[in-house]
Chains A and B, each alone.
Chain A
Amino acid sequence: MRKLAAMLVFLAAVSPCLALTPDEQLKDPGLEKRARAVSAQLRCLVCQNQSIDDSEAPLARDLRTLVREQITAGKTDAQVLDYIVDRYGQFVLLKPRLEPETLILWGTPFAVLLIAGAAMIVRRGRGEAAPERPLTDDEKRALERALQ
């Protein structure tokens, strides 16, 4: 990990280019807009949690160029993403695809929400609660103190 960090500093120091630069952008605003939307879903492989648009690493620049080449070549957004995933693997996607191994990732929050919500509704529908226990002397005194 330390090596990786050193490498990152090195890369940033050697080529401190700004994230997305003007000369990379496509002339056609419609295509450029699509390129930006696709880029937002791709991560810079050598950075922490940055999309390739925000990253200064040369590798991110290569990916940005690749996305634009593919879009200019007339591919759909999905085809461009497929192309990039084929070359760089699932790791490049900031939004993991719904697949058997990501089922837990996507499903857990909603499953828990459903189960807990259902459990609450079922519990509410049945029975009386236990009658409340009378206060002990200690608690009465504490209550009196608190209310003074």
Chain B
Amino acid sequence: MNSIAEIGHFALILAVGVALYQFAVPLMGAQRGDVAAMRAGISAALLQFVLIAISFAALTHAYVISDFSVLNVVENSHSAKPLLYRISGVWGNHEGSMLLWVLILALYGAAVAVFGGNLPLELRARVLAIQGSVGFAFLLFIVLASNPFIRVDPPPIEGNGLNPILQDPALAFHPPFLYAGYVGLSIAFAFAVAALIEGRVDAAWARWVRPWTLVAWMFLTVGIAMGSWWAYYELGWGGWWFWDPVENASFMPWLVATALIHSAIVVEKRNALKIWTVLLSILAFSLSLMGAFLVRSGVLTSVHAFAVDPQRGAFILMILCVFIGGSLSLFAWRAPQLKAGGLFAPVSREGSLVVNNLLLCVACLAVFVGTLYPLALETLTGEKISVGAPYFDLTFGPIILPLLLLVPFGAFLGWKRGDVGLALKRLWLALALALLVGVIVLALNVRGPWLAPVGMAIAAWLVFGAIADVAAKTGLFKAPLATSWQRLAGLPRSALGTAVAHAGLGILVAGVIAISLWRIEVIVALKPGETAAVGKYAVTFQGEGPLTGPNYTGRTGAFLLKQGDRELATLHSEKRIFKPSGMPTTEVGLYQTWHGDVYVVMGDETTGGARAMRMYYNPLVNFIWFGAAVMFLGGLLSISDRRYRVGAPRRAAGMQAAPAE
């Protein structure tokens, strides 16, 4: 027996106590004006992080050395598994994923403690206290109901292995990103609750909240994109988004976080929308918590629902009620004391941001209703219905479409009072180019659906609008190029970040429209040597052979990809059978180009020695993930903006550059 797991277990139990201390002491200190007690939160947050990190490292160690005296390792690992998946196996199960959740929570808490030097002492104490309370609840849950350090005696020789579908690099590393996003929203939540306790929200508050929300939003963007990329090439259906409840659970916080980073700008610049922004902060984290509950409780079954255990579900539901119910009650009680901000004209930057918020929140509501209504209906009446992709296409689609149309306008409207004529004058070229794209698509796509030209024109409008935004701000095409370049360098990073993120959205929209409308699908039975045409490509099934991997066996098929007479590549599609479980998975043969992917899946044997094949040409599909990456870059630019760094008191100046990493 290895004692390192015991150290981890002990550190975890200590962390429960430290979290309670981090909650109670700074909060009371802030109420009484006791500076020492307020400062105690800082060291408590750091200590909590160290303890949970030790605990997490101990569990990882148990996985790496395959310590089968730990029940969690037995249930979810196997000694023949590659090192990468032994490590990712740590969070590829219920208990370990909750430990990762609190680790990231503590990391954010420690980041506020370290980088929060520019916050007023009281605010920082309260924020850390709220963080501590969330940590306490989840640590208690882990220790009491979901402990990863439970031993088993005598230890078995071999473990059960990890769900083979989860043994994939993109999937292995998407949970840490997603969690960094979900949990990052806890900071906005903590700031909101602290503001409600203080009864004050001002421009400075918004400036402090926004970078944290941006960090969370960026991680969520990457996490969701990685998950969708994984679904695209691992599930073997060629789809990239399924409106699966678990996907929705991550998409809803993203939508609200997107609304939040926009509304916080209005608070910062115009001291308006304050109550709304506080509410959004609470809602964003509430949706994160709800996502954790939906996924972890087994209310929704899917690959993500590791353990179906009603007791755990009830515990998480209780945490949910305390935090969501508690914060909303506090909001109802204290929000009226937050003074409403200034009035503003409908046609103005802030007016457009209000419309942005309205549409994003209603889009989120559509996803929310679509995800939870079947559950509610079944509970209330016993009647079972399904809500799938067609519902979301019909509700989410029409709500989000006008928002996309308005994005470039908003950036061109001035604060306080915007001028539509002036905005149009600056945007006419982008508008003309977008219409041109629409007309070209219409001409090429004669009998296609109406959405094709409209969607592509909107995508082009977003991209050209973003370029026009930067061009207008730098005087491109008007001033000499050198001057424009200088102005570009001098442009606030957040303005540049906005344009980049909006352009990324346009790229993503182009990908979504293209793959939804122009995908080519070929389902055909092939014998070795036979060829099928996929669009302008020819795919020849060359034959198949046996396959042996570290923890699986199977068959691998080879496909020669040709365009005209030119040989492009040999693709391999595999059918794997994993050892401990005997569960089959499929590996896709993928040929990627900038304009689309050739996607080959080898199926089962059919009559006469042939195999069923599924082949696709997926046009512009990589624009989806490239667009998401560009949006991430936009967030990164925005967060590096000088105004989040200035204002830090002198003593902190040497310590760090950015408020959040």
Write the residues of chain A forming the contact surface with B, with a CB cutoff of 8 angstroms: 1-2, 4-5, 9, 12-13, 16-23, 25, 40-41, 43, 48-51, 54, 89-96, 101-102, 104-106, 108-110, 112-113, 116-117, 120-121, 124, 127-130, 132-133, 138-139, 142-143, 145-148
Contact = CB atoms under 8 A, between A and B. Distances in A.
B342 to A, nearest CB: 5
10 contacts: A4-B301, A13-B582, A16-B604, A21-B603, A43-B386, A93-B385, A93-B386, A96-B387, A105-B391, A148-B646
B298 A1 contact: yes
A67 B584 CA distance: 28
A94 B237 contact: no
Contacts of A1: 298, 301, 308
B647 A147 contact: yes
3 closest A-B pairs by beta carbon, nearest first, are: A94-B388, A18-B603, A146-B647
Contacts of A120: 354, 358
A90 B384 contact: yes
Contacts of B388: 43, 49, 51, 94-95
A50 B339 CA distance: 49
Contacts of B613: 22
B399 A113 contact: yes
B120 A109 contact: no
A96 B369 contact: no
Given A49-B242, A94-B386, A5 B369 contact: no
Contact of B362 (A16, A92, A113): A113
A41 B204 CA distance: 50
Contacts of A41: 390
B641 to A, nearest CB: 13
B635 interface: no
B343 A48 contact: no
B479 interface: no
A25 B523 contact: yes
A135 B78 CA distance: 63
A51 B237 CA distance: 11
Nearest to B119: A142
B485 interface: no
B43 interface: no
B385 A95 contact: no
A21 B346 contact: no
Given A9-B583, A109-B399, 13 more contacts: A5-B301, A21-B523, A21-B612, A22-B606, A22-B613, A40-B390, A90-B383, A101-B381, A105-B391, A120-B354, A129-B343, A130-B340, A146-B204
Interface of B: 118, 120, 202, 204, 207, 237, 239, 242-245, 271, 298, 300-302, 308, 339-343, 346, 354, 358-359, 362-363, 365-366, 369-370, 373, 377, 381, 383-391, 394-395, 399, 523-525, 581-584, 601, 603-604, 606-607, 612-614, 646-647, 649
B30 to A, nearest CB: 15
A89 B385 CA distance: 8
A22 B385 contact: no
A113 B358 contact: yes
B391 A96 contact: yes
Given A18-B614, A21-B523, A148-B646, A133 B339 contact: yes
A148 B647 contact: yes
A30 to B, nearest CB: 14
Contact of A108 (B343, B369, B383): B369
Nearest to B395: A109
B204 A143 contact: yes
A21 to B, nearest CB: 5
A94 B374 CA distance: 11
Nearest to B235: A54
Given A91-B384, A145-B647, A145-B649, A116 B358 contact: yes
A146 B649 CA distance: 8
A117 B340 contact: no
B120 A142 contact: yes
B343 A22 contact: no
Contacts of A13: 582-584
Contacts of B343: 124, 127-129
A105 B239 CA distance: 25
A143 to B, nearest CB: 7
B374 to A, nearest CB: 8
Contacts of B120: 138, 142
Nearest to B380: A101
A91 to B, nearest CB: 4
Contacts of B271: 132
Nearest to A21: B612
Contacts of B243: 49
Contacts of B395: 106, 109-110
B524 A104 contact: no
B408 to A, nearest CB: 21
Contacts of A116: 358, 362
B612 A48 contact: no
Nearest to B398: A110
B373 A105 contact: yes
Contacts of B237: 19, 54
Contacts of B346: 121, 124
A54 B239 contact: yes
A50 to B, nearest CB: 8
A96 B386 CA distance: 7
A49 B647 contact: no
A14 B582 CA distance: 11
